[in-house]
């Protein structure tokens, strides 16, 4: 039976098309109920005895409408909800409204346990309806759902055991119509309440219930059309909101302002206007008089936040008057959010604010509570839960539903609990989720693309086709201890002409990972292997990563080799690339390799090879440094973990050996050689890596700070920067140079993958390595970029190879680079968070006193780096208002003891100064301080258990009254106690204290 469907379409060029489609109705779409004898389905989805609910006498199938999926997807995903008939009408509407939700519905349909059946009612003769005149599309679809429900009801009424269908909708009008038609209809709320399960009740999105509905707090957002027109005309600016990690009421977007790239600050709750980190927003610039000149403050808590907002106002006024005098300091452009172009809400890990739970313990009445996300950039979220007490102290996942104008905080709902806070596995899961690291097991489909031989796979004679046989060469690998995924190995042979043949052999991952298959797609999506302190999230299944691809010693492995002829000065005479078969003679650790070099008694082929390589590497390095490559530093630490519990028992700085540099040099050389080769073959689509030159603004503060020591930093090229760093040595402070390098690293831009067709050749430069072209070739086991580079290199050397457009399509390559950059950044952050987690575990129940350096000054705090543990912490420059003791006095605002001086970029005491006089107490960059490190448990969430643990650093030396604390070493000193208690009493009489503080520092 043939029908027609017509709709209108406006094309890009502004024409209107009437599209008419032929629509064939069928009589062979089955109901898929197990017990149905009429239908000829082969694998019925819906079970004979479906869900039972107190609300209904009969077991029933659920037919939800579109809004149920859109608004209550988390409820639908709950294991209790099964045997659902998803109508085609509904599915199409869901797809139209929200692709992510559509994908989740699709996943549920694919999940056999959920028993979700898609009924193609639009193609079914009995259920197809045509839209009537004066009927809105929504009404038509509602009617289609009712017609389908009715059809199902009639179709299954005689089945044994007896079953029924229930239409689920939150639209009361639709329910009334359904009841009038003699159908069973129910709202989610009734249905779920009848299930009587607290967990699923909490998952119910309840945007309407939580809305206070009183006064509007926020300005209205402009309409989408208005915003897009404003952006076109240049009135508004578009950008992705990034919230400051120190202050969740301050965000910024990076965009073009009047043709110049720049950052626009958005400060304060009302200017942010309900935008959440990551949202794409439209911003209107504030008048110049309201632009900011002072640096970021730190917002810790609500009370301080209030103060912050007030001080901000005062500041802006002051700034307005001071603007003329202060012509030197360029104010930062500020803006306010006028509209949200795209929300980027996701699910957030976090915990419930203990203070917001007011019901007695054990109560299961629904309460509104506040949720803190782990990520401090996310505002508190209001949720409604019946399990408030059982969730306290747990990590939970929450999704935002909406943020109405009348609500101070966004409104969300509970999704699931992860586990006890502070528990290592829970916290690890949290940090993986927070960094969007896919850590699920590899699916069966992915694993099906592994070689069928599994562990027993060996190099077969047919593998030698197109490969060189390097099995006889003395190849060895050098890696960190415990490394199981060995990507690279080296060999060297002295040539008769006095030159050397050097080979870098890289695991031939692309032999196993063929483009486009599921395993390849999975790897491309994961992008990189993520290394955490206690575990590794692999990019490739471990059979490949740690076995078949890993270049282990004394087994034959497939490799992709890069062979140079180098002369005595390590200059390249020629280079070639080939696929090969190797058999590594030794897999060494850095230490073992170093020992071999140092041990004169070792004279075997491998060892002498390493010595030659070492000699060449040194020359390569020297030449690289001469070219201006930077030697930067980061405070990296290693944890010694207890074998069974995996708890950290010791922390040490990572140590670098000469052999680290050896491997590194040849890898750099290989990467550069490969980059040139693939760029030659694929000028438009080569996967390369660049490192842009940092803008001068990044160096401003650092330059100012080191000027104090008579040191100048010239960052105009990497060469000059490198030289300035080499010369910046303070004899009295040996750590200064390292510190400077650490801080210089933070001024750098991120290195990025890019597609060669997307940038001009001048921008290919890798600033840090001082090379004009670079790529990643040497770690295909743990980086997907290298896999792509391998494929491109293979295509470049083998002209007979046929390849798909994945290597040549500029757009695809660009998208891939985008994903890889994102995954890389996330992997780095996850690794850092993991280190942070273990640092917290390490310091649990410990208090240490350590030497540290001030590395950043904020408006009301400064950040201290402790080199020994490679950790950083904030020290607040305001007097601590003890919340527990002075709760009656909570209005007392933290009194600033040190204030920020923008001229010198340091914090100083508040006494008035005569001309030329230096303040008595000041904190400035690079200053050496003593701090006490402990773990602050109850910073947020108002309770024990350490919901968001934070390293607490307290100043010991220099002594600044009101800020500094007495170390544990003199805790027993009665005098010290007296001073602390006195301080509390005398809080209002700060001036006196300060004088005394000043004296003390001098003494």
Closest distance of CB 338 from another protein, Å: 12
Applying CB under 8 A, among 137, 213, 480, 695 the residue interacting with another protein is 137
Closest distance of CB 340 from another protein, Å: 18
Closest distance of CB 63 from another protein, Å: 20
Q: Are strands 468-470 and 572-583 parallel, antiparallel or unpaired?
A: parallel
Which is closer to another protein, CB of 24 or CB of 42?
Answer: 24
Which is closer to another protein, CB of 12 or CB of 643?
Answer: 12
Is omega for the bond preceding 161 within 30 degrees of 0, making it cis? yes
Interaction of residue 15 with another protein, rule CB under 8 A: yes
Which is closer to another protein, CB of 23 or CB of 618?
Answer: 23
Kindly report the number of other CB atoms within 10 A of residue 816's CB atom: 20
> For residue 929, which phi and psi values (nearest 5 degrees)?
-135, 160
DSSP-based helix, strand, coil % in the chain, nearest 5: 35, 25, 40
Pick the stretch among 5-13, 435-443, 528-536, 717-725 that binds another protein (CB under 8 A): 5-13
CA angle, corner 503, sides to 500 and 505, nearest 5? 170
Which is closer to another protein, CB of 19 or CB of 600?
Answer: 19
CA angle, corner 252, sides to 251 and 254, nearest 5? 160
757 in Cβ contact with 766 (< 8 Å)? no
Which is closer to another protein, CB of 10 or CB of 440?
Answer: 10
Judged by CB under 8 A, how many residues of this single chain contact another protein? 31
Q: Are strands 347-352 and 335-342 parallel, antiparallel or unpaired?
A: unpaired
What are the tokens at 841? Answer: 């575990």
Cα distance between the two ends of the chain: 99
Closest distance of CB 20 from another protein, Å: 5
> For residue 242, which phi and psi values (nearest 5 degrees)?
-115, 120
Distance, CA of 552 to CA of 554 (rounded, Å):
7
Applying CB under 8 A, among 2, 327, 885, 1003 the residue interacting with another protein is 2
For residue 629, which of 725, 737, 742, 718 has the smallest C-alpha distance? 718
Closest distance of CB 291 from another protein, Å: 25
Pick the stretch among 16-24, 258-266, 791-799, 908-916 that binds another protein (CB under 8 A): 16-24
Closest distance of CB 147 from another protein, Å: 9
Closest distance of CB 288 from another protein, Å: 22
Question: Could you give the residue ranges of the DSSP H alpha helices within 416-541?
Answer: 424-434, 444-447, 518-526
Applying CB under 8 A, among 24, 110, 136, 846 the residue interacting with another protein is 136
Closest distance of CB 924 from another protein, Å: 49
Closest distance of CB 222 from another protein, Å: 9
Pick the stretch among 124-132, 266-274, 301-309, 973-981 that binds another protein (CB under 8 A): 124-132
Please identify which residue in the block is written with the tokens 């020591």: 709
Distance, CA of 457 to CA of 464 (rounded, Å):
15
Interaction of residue 123 with another protein, rule CB under 8 A: no
Interaction of residue 132 with another protein, rule CB under 8 A: yes
Distance, CA of 556 to CA of 733 (rounded, Å):
51
Distance, CA of 934 to CA of 431 (rounded, Å):
21
Rule CB under 8 A: which of 424-453 touch another protein?
none
Applying CB under 8 A, among 28, 130, 420, 805 the residue interacting with another protein is 130
What are the tokens at 180? Answer: 């009038």
Distance, CA of 871 to CA of 832 (rounded, Å):
11
Closest distance of CB 150 from another protein, Å: 13
Distance, CA of 429 to CA of 355 (rounded, Å):
25
Pick the stretch among 1-9, 275-283, 430-438, 990-998 that binds another protein (CB under 8 A): 1-9
Which is closer to another protein, CB of 14 or CB of 734?
Answer: 14
Which is closer to another protein, CB of 25 or CB of 730?
Answer: 25
Interaction of residue 154 with another protein, rule CB under 8 A: no
Interaction of residue 14 with another protein, rule CB under 8 A: yes
Interaction of residue 8 with another protein, rule CB under 8 A: yes
Interaction of residue 133 with another protein, rule CB under 8 A: yes
Which is closer to another protein, CB of 130 or CB of 310?
Answer: 130
Provide long-range contacts, Cβ within 8 A and 24+ apart, for 384-387: 384/202, 384/206, 384/209, 384/210, 384/413, 385/202, 385/352, 385/414, 386/198, 386/201, 386/202, 387/198, 387/199, 387/202, 387/414
Question: Could you give the residue ranges of the DSSP H alpha helices within 376-472?
Answer: 388-391, 424-434, 444-447
Distance, CA of 75 to CA of 81 (rounded, Å):
8
Distance, CA of 131 to CA of 144 (rounded, Å):
9
Applying CB under 8 A, among 12, 16, 110, 885 the residue interacting with another protein is 16
Which is closer to another protein, CB of 10 or CB of 324?
Answer: 10
Kindly report the number of other CB atoms within 10 A of residue 614's CB atom: 19
Order the strands of the 60-64 sheet from edge to edge: 116-119, 84-87, 60-64, 164-168, 185-186
Which is closer to another protein, CB of 129 or CB of 447?
Answer: 129
Please identify which residue in the block is written with the tokens 């950008």: 239
75 in Cβ contact with 195 (< 8 Å)? no
Closest distance of CB 131 from another protein, Å: 5
Which is closer to another protein, CB of 187 or CB of 228?
Answer: 228
934 in Cβ contact with 730 (< 8 Å)? no
Which is closer to another protein, CB of 223 or CB of 574?
Answer: 223
Closest distance of CB 138 from another protein, Å: 11
Rule CB under 8 A: which of 217-246 touch another protein?
223, 225-226, 228-230, 233, 235
CA angle, corner 205, sides to 200 and 208, nearest 5? 140
Q: Across the strands, what pairs with 24? A: 2
Closest distance of CB 153 from another protein, Å: 18
Applying CB under 8 A, among 41, 104, 123, 131 the residue interacting with another protein is 131
Interaction of residue 328 with another protein, rule CB under 8 A: no
Closest distance of CB 32 from another protein, Å: 24
Which is closer to another protein, CB of 10 or CB of 112?
Answer: 10
Give CA 362 to chain center in angstroms: 36
Which is closer to another protein, CB of 128 or CB of 843?
Answer: 128
Interaction of residue 342 with another protein, rule CB under 8 A: no
Length of the chain measured in residues: 1003
Pick the stretch among 14-22, 199-207, 565-573, 658-666 that binds another protein (CB under 8 A): 14-22
Closest distance of CB 23 from another protein, Å: 10
Which is closer to another protein, CB of 230 or CB of 331?
Answer: 230
Applying CB under 8 A, among 3, 358, 982, 995 the residue interacting with another protein is 3
Interaction of residue 12 with another protein, rule CB under 8 A: no
Pick the stretch among 134-142, 340-348, 617-625, 899-907 that binds another protein (CB under 8 A): 134-142
Closest distance of CB 90 from another protein, Å: 18
Interaction of residue 97 with another protein, rule CB under 8 A: no
What are the tokens at 604? Answer: 């075997």
- Per-residue contact string for residues 259-298; x = within reach of another protein by CB under 8 A: ----------------------------------------
CB burial string 268-295: b at 16+ within 10 A, e below:
beebbbbbbbbbbbbbbbbeeebbbbbe
DSSP result, 415-479? EEEEEETT-HHHHHHHHHHHTT---SPPPHHHHTTS-TTGGG----GGGGTT-EEETTS--EEEE
Q: Are strands 536-537 and 394-402 parallel, antiparallel or unpaired?
A: unpaired
192 in Cβ contact with 201 (< 8 Å)? yes
Kindly report the number of other CB atoms within 10 A of residue 51's CB atom: 20
Q: How many helices (H) and strands (E) does the chain have?
A: 26, 39
Closest distance of CB 68 from another protein, Å: 23
Residues that bind another protein (CB under 8 A): 1-4, 6-10, 14-16, 18, 20, 128-133, 135-137, 223, 225-226, 228-230, 233, 235
């Amino acid at each position: 039976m043939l029908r027609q469907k017509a709709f209108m379409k406006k094309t890009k060029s502004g024409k209107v098309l009437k599209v008419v489609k032929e629509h064939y109705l069928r009589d062979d779409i089955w109901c898929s109920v197990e017990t149905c004898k009429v239908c000829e389905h082969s694998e019925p989805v819906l079970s004979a005895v479906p869900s039972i609910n107190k609300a209904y006498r009969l077991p029933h199938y659920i037919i939800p409408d579109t809004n149920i999926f859109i608004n209550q997807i988390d409820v639908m995903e709950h294991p209790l909800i099964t045997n659902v008939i998803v109508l085609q009408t509904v599915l199409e509407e869901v797809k139209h409204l929200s692709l992510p939700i559509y994908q989740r519905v699709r996943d549920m349909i694919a999940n056999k346990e959920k028993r979700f059946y898609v009924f193609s009612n639009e193609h079914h003769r009995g259920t197809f309806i045509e839209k009537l005149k004066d009927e809105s599309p929504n009404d038509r679809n509602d009617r289609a759902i009712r017609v389908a429900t009715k059809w199902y009801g009639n179709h299954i009424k005689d089945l044994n055991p007896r079953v029924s269908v229930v239409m689920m909708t939150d639209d009361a009008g639709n329910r009334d119509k359904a009841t009038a038609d003699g159908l069973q209809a129910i709202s989610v709320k009734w249905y779920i309440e009848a299930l009587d399960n607290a967990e699923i009740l909490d998952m119910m999105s309840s945007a309407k219930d939580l809305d206070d509905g009183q006064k509007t707090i926020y300005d209205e957002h402009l309409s989408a059309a208005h915003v897009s027109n404003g952006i076109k005309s240049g009135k508004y600016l578009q950008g992705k909101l990034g919230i400051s990690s120190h202050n969740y009421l301050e965000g910024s977007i990076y965009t073009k302002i009047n043709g110049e790239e720049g950052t626009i600050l958005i400060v304060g709750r009302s200017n942010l206007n309900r935008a959440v980190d990551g949202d794409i927003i439209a911003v209107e610039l504030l008048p110049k008089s309201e632009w900011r000149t002072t640096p970021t403050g730190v917002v810790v808590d609500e009370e301080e936040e209030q103060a912050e907002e007030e001080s901000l106002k005062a500041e802006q006024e002051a700034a307005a008057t001071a603007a003329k005098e202060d012509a030197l300091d360029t104010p930062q452009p500020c803006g306010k959010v006028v509209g949200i172009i795209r929300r980027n809400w996701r699910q957030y890990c976090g915990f419930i604010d203990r203070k917001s739970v007011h019901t007695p313990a054990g109560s299961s009445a629904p309460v509104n509570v506040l949720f803190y996300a782990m990520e401090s950039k996310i505002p508190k979220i209001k949720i409604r839960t019946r399990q408030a007490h059982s969730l306290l102290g747990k990590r939970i996942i929450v999704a935002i539903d909406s943020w109405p104008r009348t609500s101070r905080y966004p409104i969300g709902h509970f999704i699931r609990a992860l586990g006890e806070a502070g528990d290592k596995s829970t916290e690890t899961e949290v940090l993986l989720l927070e960094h969007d690291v896919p850590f699920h097991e590899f699916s069966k489909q992915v694993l099906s693309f592994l070689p069928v031989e599994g562990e027993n796979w060996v190099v077969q004679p047919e593998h030698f086709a197109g490969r060189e046989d390097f099995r006889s060469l003395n190849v060895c690998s050098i890696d960190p201890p415990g490394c199981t995924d060995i990507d690279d190995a080296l060999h060297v042979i002295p040539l008769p002409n006095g030159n050397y043949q050097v080979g870098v052999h890289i695991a031939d991952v692309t032999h196993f990972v063929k483009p486009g298959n599921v395993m390849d797609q999975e790897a491309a999506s994961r992008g990189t292997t993520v290394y955490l302190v206690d575990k590794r999230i692999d990019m490739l299944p471990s059979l490949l990563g740690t076995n078949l691809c890993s270049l282990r010693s004394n087994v034959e492995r497939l490799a992709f080799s890069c062979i140079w002829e180098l002369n005595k000065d390590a200059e390249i005479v020629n280079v070639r690339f080939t696929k090969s078969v190797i058999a590594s003679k030794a897999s060494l650790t850095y230490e073992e390799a170093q020992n071999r070099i140092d041990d004169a008694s070792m004279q075997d082929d491998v060892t002498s090879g390493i010595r030659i390589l070492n000699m060449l590497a040194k020359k390569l390095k020297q030449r690289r440094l001469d070219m201006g490559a930077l030697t930067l530093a980061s405070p990296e630490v290693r944890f010694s973990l207890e074998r069974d519990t995996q708890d950290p028992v010791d922390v040490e700085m990572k140590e670098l050996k000469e052999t680290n540099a050896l491997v590194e040099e040849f890898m750099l050389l290989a990467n550069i050689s490969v980059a040139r080769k693939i760029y030659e073959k694929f000028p438009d689509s080569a996967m390369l890596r660049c490192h842009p030159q940092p803008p001068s603004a990044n160096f401003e503060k650092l330059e100012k700070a080191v000027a104090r020591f008579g040191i100048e930093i010239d960052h105009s090229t990497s060469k000059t920067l490198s030289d300035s760093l080499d010369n910046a040595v303070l004899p009295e402070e040996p750590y200064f140079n390292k510190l400077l390098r650490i801080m210089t690293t933070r001024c750098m831009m991120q290195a990025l993958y890019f597609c060669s067709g997307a940038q001009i050749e001048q921008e290919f430069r890798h600033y840090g390595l001082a090379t004009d072209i670079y790529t990643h070739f040497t770690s295909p086991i743990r980086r997907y970029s290298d896999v792509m580079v391998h494929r491109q290199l293979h295509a470049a050397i083998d002209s007979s190879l046929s390849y798909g457009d994945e290597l040549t399509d500029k757009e695809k390559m660009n998208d891939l680079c985008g994903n890889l950059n994102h995954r890389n950044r996330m992997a780095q952050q996850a690794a850092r968070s993991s280190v942070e987690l273990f640092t917290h575990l390490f310091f649990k129940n410990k208090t240490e006193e350590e030497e540290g350096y001030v590395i950043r000054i904020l408006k009301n705090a400064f950040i201290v780096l402790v080199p020994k543990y490679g950790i950083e912490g904030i020290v607040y420059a305001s007097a601590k208002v003890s919340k527990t003791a002075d709760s009656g006095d909570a209005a007392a605002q933290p009194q600033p003891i040190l204030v920020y001086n923008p001229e010198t970029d340091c914090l100083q005491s508040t006494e008035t100064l005569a001309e030329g006089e230096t303040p008595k107490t000041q904190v400035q960059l690079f200053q050496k301080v003593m701090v006490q490190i402990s773990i602050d448990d109850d910073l947020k969430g108002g309770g024990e258990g350490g919901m968001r643990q934070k390293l607490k650093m307290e100043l010991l030396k220099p002594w600044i009254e009101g800020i500094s604390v007495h170390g544990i070493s003199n805790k027993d000193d009665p005098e010290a106690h007296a001073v602390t208690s006195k301080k509390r009493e005398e809080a209002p009489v700060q001036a006196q204290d300060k004088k005394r503080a000043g004296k003390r520092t001098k003494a």
